[in-house]
Chains A and B, each alone.
Chain A
Amino acid sequence: MQKIGVFVCWCGSNIAATVDVETVSDALAREPGVVFSTNYQYMCSQAGQDMIQEKIRELGLTGVVICSCSPRMHEATFRRACEKAGLNPYLVEIANIREQCSWIHKDKAVGTEKAIILGRAAIAKVQLNAPLTAGESPVTKRALVIGGGIAGIQTALDIAEAGFPVDIVEKKPTIGGKMTQIDKTFPTLDCAACILTPKMVDAAQNEKINIISYAQVEEVAGFVGNFSVKIRKRARFVDETKCTGCGLCTEKCPQKNVPNEFNQGLDNRRAIYIPFAQAVPKVATIDPNYCTMLKTGKCGVCSKVCTAGAIDYRQQDEIIQQEYGAIVAATGFEPISMEKFDEFAYSQSPDVVTSLEFERLMNAAGPTGGTLLRPSDGKHPHTLVFVQCVGSRCDGGEKGKPYCSKICCMYTAKHAMLTREKYPDTEVYVFYIDVRTPGKNFDEFYRRAVEEYGVHYVKGMVGKVAPENGKLKVQASDLLGGRQLHIDADMVVLAAAIEPDRSARPLATMLTASMDTNDFFTEAHPKLRPVESPTAGVFLSGACQGPKDIPETVAQAGAAAAKVIGLLSRDHLTCNPCVAESNELMCNGCSACEKVCPYGAITYIDKEFRGPNRTTLVRRVAQVNPAVCQGCGACTVACPSGAMDLKGFSNAQIMAEVDAICK
């Protein structure tokens, strides 16, 4: 026998002004199963909650219906209140008579009538509610950081600092990411390597951090607290435990013509290489696309010169299977390809470079030893033109990106300033749409470039760059001056837009984390949960979530780490009890439910059933892992026999609501 209590809230005058609460509570008192019905000014107040609790105890209520604001507002409040009075929290239903009734109707008779119907539907549903208990799942106290740039390194360091083991998976042979290629950092102009490499060493030396370099995540299964990840560590043909990083092999290797990606292809490296002097781990890697030994079986020079005996031409990819409680995506960014931007003659002249290439040309460890020389003839350039927003803020075009890449204004100011500082004999032009310098000391920095260093900032876009007799003829418009400019430049530097790393999209699929149309990871809430992905247990760090500079990246990396630490410090997680369940007696074992489940929560077992006449029959039946199921209900409709149902939103409950509403 049901004993349902109905509590109608006035919400001050928010509900009571357009819904006659007295009539509603009287009408609902006459519904089957209802033993108590009342109305009160503020049901969510302490006094209101006390009244509900008192009635639960006094009347032994088996179900509670609260006619109030949206369940999105106070469902949790009322559930907690009822639980304190000894009623299972899932025996509470909310009728939304504020947002979906009193606030949208002006006529009191209409509002009252609708409120009664909504109340009836909630009563009809609560009759069929079952007490549910939230399950618990354990938490694996280990984190995975995918990407070993400054974002990943900082996140890993912070997590390790709190005492949790953490693995960094980096696809390149060394950690460090884009920041290793940068010369100096704005707005302080300190050298990137000087602040980054100590962090890389910290990460390598931290006992809690395990760096898995030259590796990629291949498969992710499981759920928050219990991820199971398969990592493919690619064969580098060098035994990491034996290699001392002496670099002798990289000097003796006869294959000298491999474009050096660390210097953006501006010079060459060998087939066996260490990306740069401060690489972590500092071990050599053989590039199988260029190594003569691996391709033809004839060479073996590196093996002969290696005194540590670290070279192993037969090394295979290694598969690492590891369990994690939390995963942080820190896959970073890439500058977009300049190939589609013919107007800037990037493909035609080596003297048209991207900003990242320019960083290498200015860097003491770069191909020119830090002396700014034109790639085409190695001569000192006198006139430099910087073009901003190349591919950023492009509307609708296939060439570029609709968003602002955020960092280009500042690094262009930095480049211009450094050029003028080192080479006072140069003329430096910067073409811009807007100069965006919000950030601490950013605008001051930009103004210094203009005022102290005499950089010519021109509002307008470069229309065309044409290589001619060793010069680059730059045609541009000066919007403020209202004239066309023709500049004979020695070098043109393009501030290419940045885009998420290409590995992010397949990774998002594996993580079931969502992405926006630009392939940046989506945050769980754009304002209030900026470092969490909508998928529980997956966190975001750095530029994979959106363009950002180093201080912002480090701040977000720390924030993501804090979220991970919060998760890993718990022993158990409470699961959502409103999950699917399979009625094995009705299950056909057809796999339709498994196919539509986005979480892989459904598995099959062969189970023995008793048949007529003492026979047994083995049937394949579906089983739901309640810790993995998120309760969407896709399976319940895919199931032809109706064997799958969803707790809290069962077929019977929804149909009871339908009946109440359509009566």
Chain B
Amino acid sequence: MQVNQEFRPTIAAFCCNWCSYAGADLAGTNRLQYPADVKIIRIPCSCRLNPLFILRAFQRGADGVILCGCHPGDCHYTTGNYYARRRMTLLFSMLDYLGIERERTRVEWVSAAEGAKFAETMNEFVSTVARLGENRRLEDLRCKSE
């Protein structure tokens, strides 16, 4: 491992197809920059995000995981994000209870029109996770490349 190298976090961003993925596209269309550390995974709806996927991301080396979906009330599937909201709230609370840094997980509602919000959210989330440093409390050493 190299010393003095600036820590770059690995961020998995799950985005719902209808609002947030489109919001991310809009950020791109408007050339709004955010760090390349963010990699987006497209899911049909925020309610598709299984807590297992979040844990899997941390296991495989993610330092932060963020879920973006339509604003509550605007879900393309009417109610999906309401279920996602409860699931994520309880999961995040449980991770916090186990002593995992609560800033590593986040939910943000981003509409298809909120390209600027998407970019801002990602900038902020990346700097927060970068400040926390490498994910150590929920890592799986077997999955580390070094």
Contacts and interface: CB of A to CB of B under 8 A. Distances in A.
- Touch A–B, Cβ below 8 Å: yes
A630 B47 CA distance: 13
B61 A103 contact: no
Interface residues of B, number: 45
Given A72-B25, A100-B24, A632-B48, 16 more contacts: A99-B26, A104-B33, A121-B39, A514-B74, A632-B44, A632-B45, A632-B80, A633-B80, A634-B77, A637-B87, A649-B44, A654-B48, A654-B50, A657-B41, A658-B41, A658-B53
A106 B47 CA distance: 33
A631 B16 CA distance: 12
Contacts of B130: none
Nearest to B14: A654
B143 to A, nearest CB: 8
A100 B40 contact: yes
Contacts, number: 130
B24 A99 contact: yes
Most A CB within 10 A of own CB, among B17, B28, B87: B28
Most A CB within 10 A of own CB, among B36, B60, B76: B36
B95 to A, nearest CB: 17
Given A96-B40, A658-B41, A637 B33 contact: no
Interface string B43-77: 11101111111001100111000000000001011
A651 B52 contact: yes
B24 A662 contact: no
Interface in B105-134: 119
B92 interface: no
B5 interface: no
Contacts of B17: 72
22 contacts: A96-B25, A96-B40, A99-B29, A100-B28, A100-B40, A103-B29, A104-B32, A106-B33, A113-B36, A514-B78, A578-B44, A598-B77, A598-B78, A598-B80, A632-B80, A633-B44, A633-B80, A636-B50, A649-B48, A654-B48, A658-B60, A659-B60
Nearest to A596: B83
Interface in A97-127: 98-101, 103-106, 110-111, 113-114, 117-118, 121
A339 to B, nearest CB: 29
B2 to A, nearest CB: 16
A655 interface: yes
A470 to B, nearest CB: 50
A70 B25 contact: yes
A514 B79 CA distance: 10
A105 B62 CA distance: 21
A71 B48 contact: no
B145 interface: yes
A104 B47 contact: no
Query: Is chain B's interface secondary structure helix, strand, loop, or mixed overall?
Result: mixed
Interface residues of A, number: 44
B57 A634 contact: no
Nearest to A657: B41
B39 A99 contact: no
A596 B26 CA distance: 30
Q: Which 10 A-B pairs have the closest CB atoms?
A: A99-B28, A633-B48, A632-B77, A662-B60, A103-B28, A634-B47, A99-B25, A632-B45, A661-B39, A662-B61
A135 B31 CA distance: 39
A596 B27 CA distance: 32
Nearest to B119: A104
B77 A662 contact: no
Contacts of B22: 72
A462 to B, nearest CB: 36
Contacts of A634: 45, 47-48, 77, 79-80, 83
A659 B12 CA distance: 10
Contacts of A663: 60-61, 145
B47 A637 contact: yes
Nearest to B77: A632
Contact of B76 (A100, A534, A596): A534
Contacts of B87: 637
A548 B79 CA distance: 30
Contacts of A514: 74, 78
Given A99-B24, A99-B28, A596-B47, A662 B40 contact: no
Given A106-B33, A632-B80, A654-B53, A114 B44 contact: no
Contacts of A534: 76
B123 to A, nearest CB: 11
Contacts of A636: 48, 50
Contacts of B57: 658, 661-662
B25 A100 contact: yes
B53 A104 contact: no
Most B CB within 10 A of own CB, among A117, A512, A636, A661: A661
A659 B32 CA distance: 27
B43 A105 contact: no
B3 to A, nearest CB: 21
Most B CB within 10 A of own CB, among A72, A631, A633: A633
Contact of B53 (A70, A598, A655): A655
Contacts of A118: 39
Contacts of B61: 662-663
A654 B39 contact: no
Interface in A196-244: none
Interface string A51-74: 000000000000000000011100
A49 B140 CA distance: 43
A77 B135 CA distance: 40
Contact of A654 (B32, B41, B80): B41
Contacts of B41: 121, 654, 657-658, 661
